[in-house]
Amino acid sequence: MHMNLKRWKSFDKEGRDTTTRGEKVKAAAIPEHVAIIMDGNGRWAKKRHLPRVAGHHEGMKTVRKITRIANRLGIKVLTLYAFSTENWKRPKLEVEYLMKLPEEFLSTYLPELKAENVKVQMMGCKEKIPLHTQRAINKAISETAQNDGLILNFALNYGSRDEIMRAVRNILMDVKNGIMNENELTEEVFHQYLMTHGLQDPDLLIRTSGEIRLSNFMLWQLAYTEFVFTDVLWPDFNEEHFLSAIEEYQKRSRRYGGLKSEEQSE
Ligand code: IPE
Ligand code: IPE
Ligand code: MG
């Protein structure tokens, strides 16, 4: 135990403990998959008498910051809810701006993401996404496909009900075409039909801006995820807030319907 502590603790020349909060968080159980509902951009802008899109632009910088920290902490997957299947209901200009953001984000930050060994992925329905956006995303996905660091998974035009319905339709089709036998349908097989196939379920879900709801996000995958809600608006969300959320996660006792291991042996 002592040996372990020494390994991640840092001391200055006088032997004073200079371990940072980040190092402490990293030494404890790090959530492998963190999913974030990045909410509150509009309110952030409104508070500053700015147009809503200014909040989205600022939120993009938070994406970069949090990605870098997640990578440093050794988180394996960071899933970010960027645009829901319901967000098309917003004013045309706002939707257009939101659809340009991935391109802007990637044209600014793709070189850095590549240098940091980040692997970009996307989940959501591509069909309705403008071609220029699709191209930028596909380029980022292919140029980072060989990276094996943090998986940065954007949920874009994503809706969990849409995802589940598509899975069900594809399963029905595969059964009909004899590709799958209906007796083979298990939870694991079902997962292979979801947009998160190949990814583990999130350990931690964070939603910013004080809303306490899922807004159609990862309904299947969040079955046993730990939730942390914060009032902080997404553009204001920083390293301290992120570390706080992980510290909160590290205090939780995950039982998955069973008992804690020490209770198990009683
Ligand atoms: C989150 O911020 C970004 C998207 C949903 C695309 P909002 O735009 O929802 O900001 P609020 O909730 O109106 O403040
Ligand atoms: C959820 O936020 C979607 C994203 C963050 C992309 P919304 O702002 O769209 O959710 P509601 O409408 O408040 O539930
Ligand atoms: Mg919102």
Amino acid letter for position 53: V
Nearest CA to ligand 1 atom 6: 83
Task: Enumerate residues with CB within 5 Å of ligand 3 (an ion).
Answer: 39
**SS3 state at 149:** coil
Mutate to test the pocket of ligand 1, among 41, 206, 233 (most ligand atoms within 8 A of CB): 41
Q: Which ligand lies nearest the alpha carbon of 56? A: 1
Does the pTM exceed 0.85? yes
87 given a catalytic annotation: yes
Give the domains, in start order, of the chain with CATH numbers. 29-159+200-252 (3.40.1180.10)
Atom of ligand 1 nearest to the CA of 38: 1
Q: Read off the pLDDT of residues 87-108 as tens digits, 9 standing for 90 and up.
A: 999 999 999 999 999 999 999 9
pLDDT digits (tens, 9 = 90+) for 119-157: 999 999 999 999 999 999 999 999 999 999 999 999 999
Render pLDDT for 33-89 as a digit per residue (tens, 0 to 9): 999 999 999 999 999 999 999 999 999 999 999 999 999 999 999 999 999 999 999
Give the mutation target among 154, 211, 216 for probing the ligand 2 site: most ligand atoms within 8 A of CB. Answer: 211
CA of 37 to the centre of ligand 1 (A): 9
Which pair of tokens denotes residue 109?
Answer: 């930050």
